[in-house]
């Protein structure tokens, strides 16, 4: 199995414009793995997310913010509600707790 290219993942995350979101699986694809490698990406962002750009723009494949969201460090929204508020302020539309799939940023 190919190793995750975290530098490529960081470049992909840096490319996400305001008003857009992506999924853990999309980040895995950008890092050179199948979308099924979303769990290692989730673990990486959970530990180092405060060190990479736009971590708040990474949601699950359905466009939902994890109810277990916890900031990895300073400068990151502290709760799922803060993540949603920030994304809304950036222009992401939510319906029934899910980000608009037309606003998804893919590799």
Residue extents of the structural domains in the chain = 6-103
Q: With residue 35 as reference, give the H or E element that holds it.
A: none
Higher pLDDT, 70 or 27: 27
Segment 50-74 mean pLDDT: 93
Rg (CA), the chain: 13
DSSP 3-state of 77? coil
Say what the pLDDT of residue 2 is.
67
Does residue 35 surpass a pLDDT of 80?
Answer: no
27 token code pair: 């980040």
Task: Classify 6-103 by CATH class.
Answer: mainly alpha
Say what the pLDDT of residue 90 is.
98
Segment 73-97 mean pLDDT: 96
- Compute the distance between CA of residue 18 and CA of residue 93 in angstroms, rounded to an integer: 12
Q: Are 87 and 94 within 8 A, CB to CB?
A: yes
38 token code pair: 């979303």
Segment 47-75 mean pLDDT: 93
Does residue 18 surpass a pLDDT of 60?
Answer: yes
């Amino acid at each position: 199995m190919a190793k995750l290219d975290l530098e490529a993942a960081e470049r992909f995350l840096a490319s996400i414009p305001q008003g857009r979101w992506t999924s853990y699986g999309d980040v895995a694809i950008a890092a050179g793995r199948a979308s099924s490698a979303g769990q290692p990406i989730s673990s990486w962002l959970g530990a180092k997310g405060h060190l990479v750009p736009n971590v708040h723009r990474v949601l699950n494949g359905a466009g939902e913010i994890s109810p277990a969201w916890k900031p990895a460090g300073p400068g990151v929204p502290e709760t799922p509600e803060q993540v949603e508020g920030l994304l809304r302020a950036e222009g992401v539309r939510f319906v029934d707790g899910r980000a608009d799939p037309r606003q998804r940023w893919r590799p």
